[in-house]
């Protein structure tokens, strides 16, 4: 009889980059959908939010929502706080993760229950960045691609 596999600190390093990217995006996408349904079941329909660039052509939406914004948010929401907190101030990776999660969540400006969905994404993106940084990988690229893929999934769902 084998014990179930549990991801440990060591096994995270063994997950290939593509696994972090696709797995992270899947957790963000499906996790946020599950959170939205749970909130709907508990509290009813959420307040309406304006969908960014909804009135723009799909190519404009793809460029901004899938390419540019995830890159800028990776730099501002993961790279800057994690490198500053862990590198410059020599605090732990955990403290750096908390700083990144808080900043990324605040950057989105939600003050209602939508914060919960953004918080999930912030946790995933901080984790991807830190796993890649600790193994001297490509943390900015991996985090950007994870975020871009999750946003592409959301955009495709909006256009069904």
134-145 residue pLDDT tens: 999 999 999 999
Task: Parse the chain into domains and list their residue ranges.
Answer: 17-45+56-158
Query: How far is residue 118 from each of residues 34, 121, 135, 136, measured CA to CA in Å?
Result: 13, 5, 26, 27
Query: Within a 10 A sphere around the Cβ of 11, how many other Cβ atoms?
Result: 10
**From the CB of residue 60, how many other CB atoms can be counted at a distance below 10 Å?**
11
Of the candidates 145, 155, 160, the one whose C-alpha atom is nearest the C-alpha of residue 25 is: 145
According to DSSP, residue 113 is labeled T
b (16+ CB within 10 A) / e for 44-57: eeeeeeeeebeeee
What's the pLDDT score for residue 13? 80
Q: CB under 8 Å to 67, separation ≥6 — which residues? A: 148
| Per-residue pLDDT reduced to its tens digit, 81-124 | 999 999 999 999 999 999 999 999 999 998 888 899 999 999 99
Q: Compute the average pLDDT of residues 33-62.
A: 91
Q: With CA atoms as reference, report the closest residue to 104 among 80, 73, 139, 69.
A: 73
For residues 75 and 79, give the distance between their C-alpha atoms in angstroms, rounded to a whole number. 5
């Amino acid at each position: 009889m084998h014990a179930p596999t549990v991801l440990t600190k060591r096994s995270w390093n063994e997950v290939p980059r593509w696994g972090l990217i696709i797995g992270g995006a899947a957790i963000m996408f499906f996790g946020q959908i599950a959170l939205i349904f749970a909130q709907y079941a508990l509290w009813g329909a959420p307040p309406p939010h304006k969908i960014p660039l909804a009135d723009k052509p799909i190519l404009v939406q793809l460029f901004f929502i899938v390419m540019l914004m995830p890159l800028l948010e990776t730099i501002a929401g993961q790279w800057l706080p994690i490198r500053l907190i862990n590198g410059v101030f020599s605090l732990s990776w955990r403290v750096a993760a908390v700083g990144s999660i808080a900043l990324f969540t605040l950057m989105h400006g939600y003050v209602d229950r939508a914060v919960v969905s953004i918080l999930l994404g912030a946790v995933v993106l901080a984790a991807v960045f830190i796993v890649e940084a600790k193994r001297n990988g490509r943390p900015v690229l991996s985090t950007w691609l994870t975020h871009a893929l999750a946003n592409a999934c959301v955009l495709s769902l909006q256009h069904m």
